[in-house]
Amino acid sequence: MTVYLVGAGPGDPGLITVRGLELIKRADVILYDRLVNPSLIDHAKGRCLKVFVGKAPSNHSMAQEDINELLVRYGREHDCVVRLKGGDPFVFGRGGEEMESLIGAGIPFEIVPGITSAIAGPAYAGIPVTHRENNTSVTFITGHRWDSSRVKDTYSSLSGTLVILMGASSFRDIGKDLIGMGYDPKTPVHAVNNATTYAQKVISGTLEEMRKKEIPAPSVIVVGAAQPAGGDAMWFGRKLEGIRGKRILVMRAPEQFESTRTIIEGLGAHALNGGHYELTPIEWDRHELESATHVVITSANTVPLLKDDLLANRDKSYVAIGPGTKRALEGIGLYAEMPDEYTSEGLVMLLRKIVKPQDKVVGLRSSKASNVLGSMLTELEYSEVPVYDIDFGALFLGAITEADVIFFTSTAMVNAIAHMVKDGQIRISIGPQTTAALKSAGIPPHMESAASTIESMIGAATDLIYQNNRK
């Protein structure tokens, strides 16, 4: 049994360490914070217990003492417990207190450092916290419970860059105190809000100006750093600017479209509805499900349609192709394994690993889905059962023709609108099967997302537009 204090990084899920992600996938229990990117939790195995212990300013879901007790309790009960903390566990993360509790209880532990937002936030804003010609030191300060009298004594001789975490709500007092300590009121200050995420914004001004502004949380506040080298240094902001204002076409079920629109509009882009698809249950042989040992679900759409059938067969081992499908199954109380790669190939690798020769696997899918899994799993007893039809109702032609970017989320979408796609529209594919359909239709995608999620498709579109703008 071991408790791992793991740094989740600053917000961008791609910045977690290889070791950290490996432990998330192995964990029996994960206790995670508010600033941990939710997509990291999606990598947990099906039967992992996920416990939210996050803290917001003036609103703690759980006291630190209670978190310490949970770590000790779960550490005694489980082989692999992950305490997933935003940034780095030891940079204002109270990881030291949690470590001391584990030592006191005799619980084995390991520390997995993470990339702290104190470094990553400024880096994503193009701000070097040290520079050989300007400032050769950097000091990290917590703005939480700012104590003016203590700070003046402790930091009276500071030089170089100051990086302040958890100081958004108290920066009026912090700025006043820094000026009182001798800082020039014209000292440059940058607040990087929601650092390293697609919602990142940078607020800049002099020390005198910034202490009078409302700084949103969470923000990394940088005082006195070397100035960014012009607009070219603001590389992440330039990347985000590329997708802002773009019209992105999405065609999904109504509830999925609304959640997708929220994400897209959060970037400053526009979500266009090209038409909703409708799912119609069809007759199928339920004996196939009842006789199976493993059930493969390749779309979250399957879950609400077959809820009663799935719950009546909760003794089966369920396998989901990706995090959206896994969340849908967990929403009705069914645990599911999930491959490391959210593709048919990743699913095949997982099934070959967990299915025994005497087992029977059934895949529940759309009538229009390809039989790619069946063709790849000839060595297993595997059958696919169509359980619903998928059809697009009215297509919104104006949205389809006006789109700057099209997110192709299924082969059905390719079949529905391939003949309407225009030159100049950026085509993003959700995965290999959709890519194959696009190629067959004579409109290969400009980029395929690394994972079969809307977030990954947004990342692919953002990268592609940024690359094109630099040419």
> What is the domain-level CATH number for residue 290?
3.40.50.10090
DSSP 445-458: -SEE-SSSSHHHHH
* Residue 135, pLDDT score: 78
Catalytic residue chosen out of the listed positions 33, 42, 88, 177: 33
Identity of the amino acid at 19: R
In a shared domain, residues 262 and 406 = yes
Of the candidates 157, 213, 210, 149, the one whose C-alpha atom is nearest the C-alpha of residue 183 is 157
* Residue 90, pLDDT score: 95
DSSP percent split of the chain into helix, strand, coil, nearest 5: 40, 25, 40
- Which token pair is 347? 């699913």
Catalytic residue chosen out of the listed positions 42, 85, 88, 166: 166
* Residue 91, pLDDT score: 94
* Residue 257, pLDDT score: 87
Query: Could you list the residue range(s) of the whole structural domain that residue 336 is in?
Result: 281-388
Catalytic residue chosen out of the listed positions 55, 176, 213, 360: 55
Whether 33 sits among the annotated catalytic residues: the reply is yes
pTM of the model: 0.81
* Residue 374, pLDDT score: 74
* Residue 60, pLDDT score: 57
Q: 388, 420, 454 — which closes off a domain?
A: 388
In a shared domain, residues 129 and 176 = yes
Q: Spell out the alpha helix ranges (H) of 111-166.
A: 117-124, 148-154
CB 273 within 8 Å of CB 396: yes
CB 32 within 8 Å of CB 54: yes
pLDDT tens-digit map of 346-388: 888 999 999 998 999 999 988 877 777 777 888 889 899 999 9
Distances (CA, A) of 123 to 10, 162, 205, 225: 11, 14, 18, 11
* Residue 378, pLDDT score: 80
Q: Where are the beta strands (DSSP E) in 166-254?
A: 188-193, 201-206, 219-223, 247-250
* Residue 151, pLDDT score: 60
Q: What are phi and psi of 396, to 5 degrees?
A: -95, 95
Quote the number of domains for the chain. 4
Q: 115, 142, 167 — which closes off a domain?
A: 115
In a shared domain, residues 111 and 125 = no
Q: 357, 388, 419 — which closes off a domain?
A: 388
Whether 88 sits among the annotated catalytic residues: the reply is no
Q: How many C-beta neighbours within 10 Å does residue 307 have?
A: 16
In a shared domain, residues 286 and 417 = no
Q: Dihedral angle at the C-alpha atoms of 129, 131, 136, 141, nearest 10 degrees?
A: -10
**DSSP 3-state of 38:** helix
Number of helices (H), then strands (E), in the chain: 20, 23
pLDDT tens for the 471 residues of the chain, in order: 899 999 999 999 999 999 999 999 999 999 999 889 988 998 898 889 999 998 666 555 688 999 999 999 999 999 999 999 999 999 998 999 999 999 999 999 999 999 999 999 999 999 999 888 777 888 898 887 776 655 666 655 567 889 999 999 999 989 988 888 888 999 999 999 999 988 899 999 999 999 999 999 999 999 987 666 556 678 888 888 889 999 999 998 787 888 889 889 988 899 999 998 888 899 999 999 999 999 999 888 889 999 999 999 999 999 998 888 898 999 999 999 988 877 778 888 999 999 998 999 999 988 877 777 777 888 889 899 999 988 887 899 999 999 999 999 988 899 899 999 999 999 999 987 789 899 999 999 999 988 778 888 999 999 999 888 877
Spatial distance between the Cα atoms of 396 and 295, rounded to a whole number of angstroms: 36
* Residue 271, pLDDT score: 96
Residue with tokens 């498709």: 457
Whether 55 sits among the annotated catalytic residues: the reply is yes
In a shared domain, residues 336 and 415 = no
Q: Where are the beta strands (DSSP E) in 122-254?
A: 138-142, 161-165, 188-193, 201-206, 219-223, 247-250
Spatial distance between the Cα atoms of 165 and 168, rounded to a whole number of angstroms: 8
* Residue 146, pLDDT score: 74
* Residue 252, pLDDT score: 85
In a shared domain, residues 257 and 401 = yes
In a shared domain, residues 109 and 125 = no
- Which token pair is 332? 């009705």
